[in-house]
Structure 1
Amino acid sequence: MRNIAVIGGLAATILAFSGAPRLTAMSDAAGLPQARNASCDDPKTAFDNVYCERKVYMQADTDLNAAYKKLRTLLKVADRTTLLQSQRTWIRQRDSRCGLTEGASIKIDLVCAKDMTIERTNWLNDRSRECTSSGCRSSKLDE
């Protein structure tokens, strides 16, 4: 499956292997991306930037999933359904704001996706904090 990652107007082709996208536009003799060896503190090329931004996004996504699971354990069964619907709505919003499908290509703005994911993680953590401090507020779960 061929995808396109876009960062601030910069596009780089990525391919999906075992469910995880991997930058392939620059390869060394072993076929591994050269960007893997780059320092994300001082990226030298556009490919380095794409690689580094993807790493930050992937960590943000991991953090979001952990925050979602934590909040879910604190909720009543009925509120879990509301949270699930809210999460699905948020995913559709993220996809429409940060992604674009053109034929066989998918363009993803990684900065947009990262920022929205971090924002959503903070929202989930706020709900968890409410649950543990003053009780879960069902009315806030569908914001």
Structure 2
Amino acid sequence: MIRTSLAASALLLALCAVASAADNPALKKCMDSANTTADMVTCNAKEAKVQDARLNKAYKTALAAQEGARRQQLQDVQRLWIKYRDANCAFAGSATGSTIDQVNGSGCVLDMTQTRAQELEDLVGP
């Protein structure tokens, strides 16, 4: 039963990584040409760097738009979010003990970073 649940979780996480690729032409192209698990992890890591730069820019902009206690609150929330993302993706990246975990873990980091960048961008608006 537990093995079935873990396998289902791993499949779900892999599908989430594929959904991200469908929304991102550069990632999709990279994943389409990936022949190994290492290639897929490299694709995720490359796009995660792009999204991390986006997140950092959005964070700086959002932070500059805050005043007083809200500024400190955003700093605290962002630090907690980073800890959560890292812990959550480490968990996702160790679900089955197979090599797909590496893809799931790197895909998790990519997805969560992309989502958080959008959240921070939305704090400030267009």
Same topology, TM > 0.5: yes
Partner of 1:111: 107
Shift of 1:45: 2.2
Q: 1:49-79: CA deviations, max 9, x gaps? A: 1111110111111110010001111111321
TM-score by length of 1: 0.55
Identity of aligned residues (%): 34
Give, as a single letter, the amino acid of the residue that structure 2 aligns with 1:121: A
Distance of 2:62 and 2:46 partners within structure 1: 25
Distance of 1:48 and 1:96 partners within structure 2: 23
Query: Aligned Cα RMSD in Å?
Result: 2.5
Q: Where do 1:64-75 residues align within 5 Å?
A: 64-75=55-66
Shift of 1:93: 1.2
Q: 1:71-90: CA deviations, max 9, x gaps? A: 11111132110100111111
Q: Where do 1:1-143 residues align within 5 Å?
A: 8=14, 40=30, 41-99=32-90, 109-129=105-125
TM-score by length of 2: 0.62
Where in structure 1 do 4 or more consecutive aligned residues deviate above 6 Å?
none
Runs of 5+ unmatched residues, structure 2: 1-12, 15-28, 95-100
